[in-house]
Amino acid sequence: MKRRHFLSGLTGGVIASAAIHHHWLKPAQARLRQPVTWGGAYLQDEAMAMPHLSRAIAMRNASGQSINQVLFETIRGINWSETDIDLAALVDQDTSTTTEFGMVLVFAAEQTLGQIYFPDKRETKYIARLVGYNMVYNVQKRQIIGNFGIRGRYFDALPGKPDNNALPDIYFDLVTNQNREGSIARLMTEKISKYPYSNRYGGKRFKVTSVETKPLVATAAEQTGMNADIFKEQIGYLSTVCFSEQTTVPVIPYTKTAALNTKLAQEMRITAFDGDSALNTTLPLPDAEIGINIILDGWNFNVTPTTDQRNQVSLTMSLTVVFTSQDNGKIIFNQQFFAQKDFYEIPKANYIMSRDARVYILHEECIDKIFASITSPSTRSALYEGIDLIQPSEASFVQAVTDDKAGYQQDYDTVAEYLPYPM
């Protein structure tokens, strides 16, 4: 626990860094030159339960449009000629078209992280996440070409007390609202359209192959009112998406994408004009060449009453990330990380986020910084020294545990060298 001064950094600012990607060090980027058909958004059947998103997909907005129809309009409005993928020629078609490549969104997990009521404002602040994949695949060969992580974020207030019936509308908005920061529709425009699409990639294929837990996790989960097995799955999907997002490289899905086996089915055909149309094919996942293992050590809440109504709470956790070459079992990265979040709770006023949501968010913050450090030297250096993340009414601290800076740098350099790059 050397180099740590948790409270001394709480008044500091958030450490920001500009990612320096490894792609420009590789051969010149090559775009996916063949036309690609938009196929719609789907749920991953054997992933996490997504009851609210499932209802949202069946909904229509005030204009009578479904999620897929709104996303289709979003895609049509993007200038694909300035990207690495030729989607525009097909989304503008008025008739069905058979093509060699298809693109789909596959959602793997929804997370409702907070419904916090503010009596003075008579409103509830909702916090939610959507994680999944933006996938491009070869229809004829039934082969995934590039699978990129995608994560939608919702943080907004609605009038009235907490209401679970509002959640399907929230997830509909989270997917479709281009004006909402963090929405899937906005990510399609600002991020997904700029991914490095290519017919093939050099480097290695990465996959989160396992999430393990130390004995403390079961105890901590029980005390927090969580299901440890479900949390492991949440971290598996989250880590997969974080890795792809932070490095801007394709990744193999955490588990077999069942949606693509049951909802995308018998024919090698994709309809270009209707996002609601079924995609019918099976897509076997490629073998991983580099496996990512997440080892959860556990977490602990320390509560200190500051007044008769207000508590100061400190949540601490640690985890280990291991990258392993799958062909020979060689470990190329093995680092442990620590994180702490300090915040206040006012239980009598219901001004409190659920403890399981706090645990998820702190793990998310930690994992984001771990994977961002692969391609961002400034984030990597900051993570070694310790990063303060300051937000209204709370502060987080994330840091690598090791004191071996040379070994820490070497581990990251090795992973960066193996990352996929477009050819």
Quick one: which H or E segment has residue 390? strand 387-391
Given 284, 300, 332, the domain boundary residue is 284
Distance CA 283, CA 257 (A): 8
DSSP string, 37-68: EEEEEEE-TTSS--HHHHHHHT---TTS--HH
Amino acid identity for residue 233 in this structure: E
Q: Are residues 242 and 180 in the same domain?
A: no
Distance CA 187, CA 183 (A): 6
What CATH number did the domain enclosing 317 receive?
3.40.50
* Cβ pair 43, 107 in contact under 8 A: yes
In sequence order, what E strands does 224-355 have?
290-305, 311-325, 331-345
| Residues of the chain predicted below pLDDT 50 | 1-28, 256-278, 280
Q: Are residues 381 and 297 in the same domain?
A: yes
Q: Are residues 125 and 144 in the same domain?
A: yes
3-class state of residue 247 by DSSP: helix
Q: Are residues 186 and 40 in the same domain?
A: yes
Total Cβ atoms within 10 A of residue 303: 10
Q: Are residues 161 and 275 in the same domain?
A: yes
Question: Is residue 246 classed exposed, middle or buried when 0-12, 13-18 and 19+ CB atoms within 10 A define those classes?
Answer: buried
Given 284, 299, 329, the domain boundary residue is 284
Pairing mode, if any, of strands 123-138 and 331-345?
Answer: unpaired
Q: Are residues 279 and 293 in the same domain?
A: no
Q: What is the number of domains present in the chain?
A: 2
pLDDT of residue 371: 99
Distance CA 88, CA 263 (A): 24
pLDDT of residue 96: 57
Using only C-alpha atoms, what is the Rg of the chain?
22
Q: How far is CA 172 from CA 70, 180, 364, in A?
A: 10, 12, 23
pLDDT of residue 231: 95
What are residue 155's DSSP bridge partners?
127
* Cβ pair 122, 159 in contact under 8 A: yes
- As a whole number of Å, the end-to-end CA separation of the chain is 43
Q: Are residues 16 and 102 in the same domain?
A: no
Q: How far is CA 391 from CA 12, 82, 167, 388, 396, in A?
A: 11, 36, 25, 10, 8
The predicted-structure confidence for 388-411, as pLDDT tens digits, reads as follows: 999 888 999 999 999 999 999 999
Token couple for 324: 């392993």
pLDDT of residue 202: 94
pLDDT of residue 92: 63
Q: Are residues 2 and 65 in the same domain?
A: no
Q: Are residues 310 and 401 in the same domain?
A: yes
Distance CA 135, CA 405 (A): 37
3-class state of residue 315 by DSSP: strand
Structural domain that includes position 144: 32-199+256-284
In sequence order, what E strands does 73-219 have?
85-86, 101-118, 123-138, 143-159, 201-202, 206-213
Q: How many residues appear in the chain? A: 423
* Cβ pair 80, 195 in contact under 8 A: no
Q: Are residues 347 and 396 in the same domain?
A: yes
3-class state of residue 224 by DSSP: helix
What are residue 116's DSSP bridge partners?
125
Q: Are residues 311 and 385 in the same domain?
A: yes
Nearest to 124 by CA among 384, 281, 350: 350
* Cβ pair 136, 101 in contact under 8 A: yes
Q: Are residues 337 and 412 in the same domain?
A: yes
% helix / strand / coil in the chain, to the nearest 5?
Answer: 30, 35, 35
